[in-house]
């Protein structure tokens, strides 16, 4: 099994995906263990002094003015975890919780949090055992980090609350720890606070969304190319020299992908035949500009994620010279903004894909295709309602594009009077990515059927490969009306798991 070694300088997006989705094992480097021990010595020295230090010998948030005596400090750390584990609503997905915990472990290992090495090792042990704390949908304002979600994870380290075992059964966390030989953590000064004060949930969801969107944007370039073919459009608008004079990188990449898919097609360039067109419609002609803008948005979001992956997010933090200082690095604004930006891009990509689908189904605009791609129009409705479903998804995506980060709701007796709502931005982005996949799948379904209805002209070899792979995957082709939901579900799965991209890249080579 793949092993990820966590050091002091952060982790990569690939590491996060390996742990969250691939079940990779985790090891702490010797450097990380040494850094943890050195930072703990600083915290222990401060804890022994009579002067109050936030998070070490004081209360938290609006209660930070109270100095806590040594006899109550272990209770203080337990209490912050118990009281902050206040989430409600549906359970959060296993991969999100694993990413959340792994990213918190990454920050612990930076040596800036002051927890003991055994706390970090216990978190690694829990992840390696396949134990997943029960974390709920609601409870994070994205400042001071993802408090409630991280607190539910910390509760599991203490042997309290509920968690899901490797067999998928939810049981008391203490039982699961015992079965795997993991001793519950007895928290000491600052450790409870350090376990729950970070942007780890929203960052983990950003990293996974970027991985999914990378596949989806390639898929959308493919389906746009298929629709262009089916509509007998021209590929001249994809010429590199046209995109070089407006040099947005994403636009050039999308145009190059579409051109690669269409290479060798006999269907393109017939827009002047029976129904003359000077130009193709915007949804066809401007596909690279819209998808390209989304790709550039992803590039910016990836830069933010890489910076956050290299960060140590905690409050207070232990500095190398021995100071422990309060700060505002837990604020989720940098991550929240790009999460919202990606949701906007996803909504627009879905919107233009739906317009192409509608054009394929409309006999007045499809340039010779049967109404709704039906076998016997009037007797058959064809894909009429598939487009309704796609339109409903697009409408939902537009609602999900409303930014969460534009909101702020004060908390902690006005001490935390401006929050990021980054967790909410991440949660809605996950739904947006899910729905975008379905929208692209409907376009794939319509475009492949339309191409097969064009008799006498051969589609591009890459298009033929996509159609053949789709049919082998249960995405059925033209014919009389039938129960349509299973076909659409098969198309969804075909796009979602990457088989569409793989089939095309088998002909074109790697897409950009």
The pLDDT of residue 494 is above 60: yes
Q: Which two tokens stand for residue 383?
A: 């894909």
pLDDT above 90 for 127: yes
For the chain, what is the mean pLDDT?
94
Active site residue 282: no
- pLDDT of amino acid 67: 81
Give the model's pLDDT for residue 23.
97
Instruction: Report the pLDDT value the prediction gives residue 71, as an integer from 0 to 100.
Output: 80
Q: Is residue 434 very low, low, confident or very high in pLDDT (cuts 50, 70, 90)? A: very high
Give φ, ψ of 280 to 5 degrees.
-75, 160
422-453 vs 200-230: helix crossing angle, rounded to 10: 20
Q: Which of 54, 138, 282, 388 is catalytic?
A: 54
Q: Which tokens sit at 395?
A: 């409408």
- How do residues 373-396 score in pLDDT, each as one tens digit? 999 999 999 999 999 999 999 999
Specify the pLDDT at position 334.
Answer: 96
Tell the residue number behind the tokens 């519950």, with chain if given. Answer: 184
Kindly report the pTM of this predicted structure: 0.95
Residues 71, 63: Cα–Cα separation, whole Å: 18
Alpha helices (H) in 168-239, listed in sequence order: 173-179, 191-196, 200-230
| C-alpha to C-alpha distance for 492 and 373, rounded to whole angstroms | 19
Chain segment 323-361, per-residue pLDDT in tens: 888 898 889 999 999 999 999 999 999 999 999 999 999
**CA 206 – CA 96 distance, rounded (Å):** 10
User: pLDDT tens digit string along 163-209?
Assistant: 999 999 999 999 999 999 999 999 999 999 899 988 999 999 999 99
C-alpha pair distances (Å), 496 with each of 148, 220, 404, 444, 502: 31, 12, 26, 12, 11
The H or E element spanning position 442 is helix 422-453
Residues facing residue 411 across a β-bridge = 416
Q: What pLDDT score was predicted for residue 274? A: 61
Query: In this predicted model, what pLDDT tens digit does every residue of 267-322 receive, in sequence order?
Result: 998 765 666 677 899 999 999 999 999 999 999 999 999 999 999 998 889 998 88
* pLDDT tens digits, 445-486: 999 999 999 988 999 999 999 999 999 999 999 999 999 999
pLDDT at 110 over 60: yes
Find the helix packing angle between 461-472 and 499-508, rounded to 10°. 150
> What CA–CA distance (Å, rounded) separates 70 from 215?
53
Helix (H) or strand (E) holding 136: strand 136-138
């Amino acid at each position: 099994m793949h092993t990820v070694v966590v050091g002091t300088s952060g982790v990569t997006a690939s590491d996060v995906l390996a742990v969250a989705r691939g079940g990779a094992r985790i090891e702490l480097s010797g450097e990380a263990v040494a850094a943890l021990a050195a930072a703990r010595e600083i915290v222990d020295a401060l804890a022994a002094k009579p002067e109050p230090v936030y998070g070490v010998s004081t209360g938290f948030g609006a209660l930070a003015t109270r100095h806590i005596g040594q006899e109550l400090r272990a209770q203080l750390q337990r209490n912050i975890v118990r009281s902050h584990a206040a989430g409600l609503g549906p359970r959060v997905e296993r991969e999100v919780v694993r990413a959340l915990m792994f990213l918190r472990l990454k920050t612990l290992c930076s040596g800036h949090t002051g927890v003991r090495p055994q706390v970090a090792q216990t978190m690694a042990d829990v992840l390696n055992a396949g134990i997943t704390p029960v974390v709920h949908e609601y409870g994070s304002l994205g400042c001071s980090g993802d408090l409630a979600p991280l607190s539910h994870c910390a509760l599991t380290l203490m042997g309290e609350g509920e968690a899901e075992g490797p067999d998928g059964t939810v049981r008391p966390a203490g039982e699961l720890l015992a079965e795997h030989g993991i001793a519950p953590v007895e928290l000491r000064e600052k450790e409870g606070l350090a376990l729950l004060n970070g942007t780890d949930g929203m960052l983990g969801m950003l990293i996974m969304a970027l991985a999914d969107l990378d596949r989806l944007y390639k898929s959308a370039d493919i389906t746009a190319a298929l629709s262009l073919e089916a509509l007998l459009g021209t590929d001249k608008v994809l010429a590199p020299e046209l995109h070089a004079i407006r040099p947005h990188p994403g636009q050039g990449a999308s145009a190059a992908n579409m051109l690669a898919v269409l290479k060798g097609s006999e269907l393109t360039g017939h827009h002047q035949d029976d129904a003359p067109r000077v130009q193709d419609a915007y949804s066809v002609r401007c596909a690279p500009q819209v998808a390209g803008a989304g790709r550039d948005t992803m590039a910016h979001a990836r830069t933010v994620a890489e910076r956050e992956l290299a960060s140590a997010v905690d409050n207070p933090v232990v500095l190398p010279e021995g100071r422990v200082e309060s700060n505002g690095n837990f604020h989720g604004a940098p991550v929240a903004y790009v999460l919202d930006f990606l949701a906007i891009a996803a909504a627009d990509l879905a919107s233009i894909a739906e317009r192409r689908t509608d054009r394929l189904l409309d006999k007045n605009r499809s340039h010779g295709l049967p109404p709704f791609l039906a076998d016997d129009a009037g007797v058959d409705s064809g894909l009429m309602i598939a487009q309704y479903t796609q339109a409903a998804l697009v409408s939902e995506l537009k609602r999900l594009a409303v930014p969460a980060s534009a909101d702020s709701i004060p908390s902690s007796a006005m001490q935390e009077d401006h929050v990021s709502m980054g967790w909410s931005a991440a949660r809605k982005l996950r739904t947006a990515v899910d729905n975008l996949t379905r929208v692209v799948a409907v376009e794939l379904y319509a475009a492949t059927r339309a191409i097969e209805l064009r008799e006498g002209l051969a589609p591009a070899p890459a298009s033929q490969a996509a159609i053949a792979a789709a049919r082998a995957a249960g995405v059925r082709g033209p014919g009389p009306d039938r129960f349509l939901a299973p076909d659409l579900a098969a198309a969804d799965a075909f796009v979602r798991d990457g088989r569409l991209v793989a089939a095309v890249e088998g002909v074109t080579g790697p897409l950009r």
